[in-house]
Amino acid sequence: MKEEREYQVKQIVDYDINGKMRVEIQKLLCECFGDDYPDDRIYFKQTPHFRYLVYNEDQRLVGHVGVDYRVMNLKGEPINVLGIIDLCVSKSSRSLGIGSQLLFELERFCDGRNIDFLLLFADDPSLYEKNGFQSVSNQCTWMKINDQNQTTRGIGTETINELMIKRVGTKKWSSGQLDMLGYLY
């Protein structure tokens, strides 16, 4: 029988993150993403607009997701996208439904708002497929950012196999060119 646990989900805008919270987020991101994650900041390429943070009953941070709201261009048509960034759960709290809870919170956030799609890039699609996301194959264009010194390197164009979406509005996804009008999450 699984142990019932209480979790608290908090939404916070990035400009309100400082002190202890910043340290906790940094620690969780480095634990989950390892040496690939910069150890001097709480974002990989760009600061998200806001985040959802999940705390356990001991008030320890165990889950995180960053969120970016942006207009993109899909085959000549503007779409409103809520981008999912750095969704992660602490190693000790995995397989308890926290990742799905974060995705549910994002979908609930979209209700009644001008958002057409949730969009993310996933190395392992299983969590997202379980929560209604689908893999799509579009030729993408985006602004390349040098992760080390945070400078623009140019424009990237390629088909990215890890692209996943979930429709949350009335528009339909189509194959064809996706111009992200900004950086790659």
For the stretch 14-46, pLDDT in tens is 999 999 999 999 999 999 999 888 888 999 889
Return the closest-CA partner of residue 177 out of 154, 160, 165.
Answer: 160
Range of the domain at 155: 8-183
**Spatial contact of 100 and 9, defined as CB atoms under 8 Å apart:** no
Domain annotation covers residue 18: yes
Domain annotation covers residue 1: no
**Spatial contact of 144 and 154, defined as CB atoms under 8 Å apart:** yes
Domain annotation covers residue 177: yes
Q: Count of domains in the chain? A: 1
pLDDT tens digit sequence for 62-114: 999 999 999 999 999 999 999 999 999 999 999 999 999 999 999 999 999 99
For position 36, what pLDDT does the model report?
A: 81
Domain annotation covers residue 2: no
Instruction: Calculate what percentage of the chain has a pLDDT beyond 70.
Output: 97
d(CA 88, CA 61): 11
For position 28, what pLDDT does the model report?
A: 97
**Does the reported pTM lie above 0.85?**
yes
Mean pLDDT (whole number) for 118-123: 96
Domain annotation covers residue 3: no
CATH code of 88's domain? 3.40.630.30
For position 40, what pLDDT does the model report?
A: 86
Domain annotation covers residue 90: yes
